[in-house]
Amino acid sequence: MNKKTYTLHTEDHDRNIFDSKYVYPVVSRRAGGLSLGVNLNTNNACNWQCIYCEIPNLTRGGPEPIDIDLLKDELNFWIDQIINSSFIQDNTPPDTTFADVALSGNGEPTAAPEFLNVLEIIIDCLKEFSLIDKIPVRLITNGSFISKKKECLNIINQHHGEIWFKIDAADEDSIKRINQVNLDPNSMINHLKICAEVCQTVIQTCFLKINQQLPTNDFLENYSRLIKPYEHIVKKIDLYSLARPSLQNNQDITIERLSFDELNNIKSILEKELTIKIDVFP
C-alpha cells in the first residue's frame, strides 16, 4: 500500500511551500496540530543567532517594514482555507486539527515596531471567523523586547493566548555559546517573570549534544537554580532537541540531536530539583 506523503509534516517547516510572504501553515509537534505561523521577520534577521536555528541565511538585526495590508489579506486567506476548505484534510496527516495562530517566524517577532498592530489584526481576524477564544494566539519569543510589549501581553492574555519563552541555558557562558548573545541570566529571568505574571507562559528549552557532549550536571544545575524561584508562575517546560537540521555555519562546533531517551534522562535529573510539569518532545 502506498503511504501518502503530506505537504505539511513536522520534519519540514519550510515557510515557502505556499506562495505567501507573512503567513504560513505548518504542522507543529509542540502546538499539537496545524499552526498558522505569522512571520514578521521576512528578511531572516534576528537579534540572537542560536547555533541550532533553522532559518536559512540568518543575519543579525531586526525586521524590515511590514506590509500590513498584505499580511491582513494573507491571514484572511489562510484562515478561510483552513476552516472553509479541505486544506487540512488534503495537506496534513490524519486527525490534524487547527491548533493556533503563532507569532513566530524567521527572527524575533517582538522586534517589529508593528507588533501591536499585527496582534490586533490577528485578534480581529479570529473574531471575524468566530474563532476568538477558541483558537489561541501563541507568541514564540526570546523575550528580549518583552518589557516594552506589556500592552501586547495583556491582549494575548485577554484572549487566553500563550507565550512560549525560550531558555536554552542559564549561565552567561552557555547562553553566549548556544544563543550567541551577551545576556545576563538575571535579565533573561526577569523577562520571563514579566511574561508569566501576565500570560500563561511555557518555557521552551532546546537541549543539544555540543561537540559530542551532553549537557553536563553543572549546566543542568544552573538551569534548575535559575528557574526554581519562578516555577509556580510558569505553566510548564517543553524540552526538545533539534527537529530539523540547523542551517547555521557553526565554526568549531558540532551539534547533534538528543535521543528521546537522553531527553527523558535530562527530564529526570531536572525533576529532582523542579516540581513544574516537564513535557519532552522527541
Given the rule CB under 6 A, which residues bind ligand SF4?
46, 48-50, 53, 55, 107-108, 142
CB-based contact 46:53 (threshold 8 Å): yes
| Dihedral pair phi/psi, residue 164, rounded to 5° | -105, 110
* Shortest distance (Å) from residue 40 CB to ligand SF4: 11
* Shortest distance (Å) from residue 215 CB to ligand SF4: 17
* Shortest distance (Å) from residue 219 CB to ligand SF4: 18
Residues in CB range of 23: below 8 A, 6 or more apart: 36, 37, 38, 39, 71, 74, 75, 77, 78
Based on CB atoms, which residue is closest to ligand SF4, 72 or 149? Answer: 149
Based on CB atoms, which residue is closest to ligand SF4, 46 or 163? Answer: 46
Based on CB atoms, which residue is closest to ligand SF4, 33 or 61? Answer: 61
Q: How far apart are CA 176 and CA 188, in angstroms?
A: 13
* Shortest distance (Å) from residue 15 CB to ligand SF4: 12
Hey, how many other C-beta atoms are within 10 angstroms of the C-beta on 108?
24
Based on CB atoms, which residue is closest to ligand SF4, 208 or 280? Answer: 208
Q: How far apart are CA 280 and CA 266, in angstroms?
A: 10
Based on CB atoms, which residue is closest to ligand SF4, 10 or 49? Answer: 49
* Shortest distance (Å) from residue 49 CB to ligand SF4: 5
Hey, how many other C-beta atoms are within 10 angstroms of the C-beta on 165?
25
Q: How far apart are CA 61 and CA 227, in angstroms?
A: 28
Based on CB atoms, which residue is closest to ligand SF4, 108 or 162? Answer: 108
* Shortest distance (Å) from residue 104 CB to ligand SF4: 8
Q: How far apart are CA 129 and CA 14, in angstroms?
A: 26
- Burial of 211 from C-beta contacts in 10 A (0-12 / 13-18 / 19+): exposed
